[in-house]
Amino acid sequence: MLFLAFIQPLSNKCYFIIMSIKEQCENLRVILVDDSVLMRNILTGYLSEYGIKTIKSASDGQSAIHDITIASNGGQPFDIVFLDWNMPGLSGFDVLNHFRAKKEFDSMAIVMVTAENKQKSVLEAIRAGATGYMIKPVSKEDLDAKLPQVVGWLQRNKRP
């Protein structure tokens, strides 16, 4: 069982709150953006084991921008975007830049999931505001290592 400990300051007192990752993940809203049906199914399988109830998919950048924007406008914003880089039409990098240019999406975690393993690509994505980066092939163990970091990032960047 993976645990995330975080501290909430309250009236000069600090409380340690330890919750399981699964308990924190259940109510997360996640969208997978990848033109590969295989990848969308693989990630859905991995994420389902965390009890995440809302897992949506988009098969290209344009659809992703549309779906994420609509969800946000409808009061049900996505918390995490798992985003492929190389897609027909708009690339994942274009989608990343699109949302990082809009303050209302500052609390949305964007994790690149891509076969691009060049250090230059990783640095480019992080500098553009990616919350994390995973290199394909992505194993369940890779996600086990990454998800607590993303959940921690969400806690630190909570919507006001």
Partner 1 sequence: MPKNYIKNNQPEFSRIITSVVRDTFKAYFDMDVVADYPPVVANNLPNRVYCKAHIEGESLKGDVVVSLNQDTLLKLARKVYPPSLPLDDDAVAGCAEEITNIVGTRLKNFLNHQNFDASITTPTLCTCPQSGSQLLHLSFTVENQSMMIDFIVEDERLHYSVTQH
CA–CA distance, 101 with 73 (Å, rounded to integer): 16
CA–CA distance, 111 with 109 (Å, rounded to integer): 6
Q: How far is the CB of 37 from partner 1 (least distance, A)?
A: 4
Q: Which stretch binds partner 1 (CB under 8 A): 4-12, 80-88, 96-104, 125-133?
A: 80-88
Among 8, 73, 86, 157, binds partner 1 (CB under 8 A): 86
Annotate each residue in 43-72 with x if it binds partner 1 (CB under 8 A) or - if it does not, as one string.
--x---------------------------
End-to-end CA distance of the chain: 30
Instruction: Give the single-character DSSP code of 105.
Output: G
| Alpha carbons within 13 A on the beta-carbon side of 35 | 12
Asked if residues 54 and 30 have their Cβ atoms less than 8 Å apart, the reply is yes
Among 52, 138, 151, 154, binds partner 1 (CB under 8 A): 138
Q: If binding is defined by CB under 8 A, does position 94 make contact with partner 1?
A: no
Residue 52 to residues 14, 36, 49, 65, 147, Cα–Cα distance (Å): 29, 21, 8, 21, 12
Helix (H, G, I), strand (E, B) or coil at 18: strand
Q: Which stretch binds partner 1 (CB under 8 A): 23-31, 64-72, 83-91, 150-158?
A: 83-91
Q: If binding is defined by CB under 8 A, does position 36 make contact with partner 1?
A: yes
Q: Which stretch binds partner 1 (CB under 8 A): 23-31, 97-105, 111-119, 152-160?
A: 111-119
Q: Which residues bind partner 1 (CB under 8 A)?
A: 35-39, 41-42, 45, 86-88, 115-118, 136-140, 142
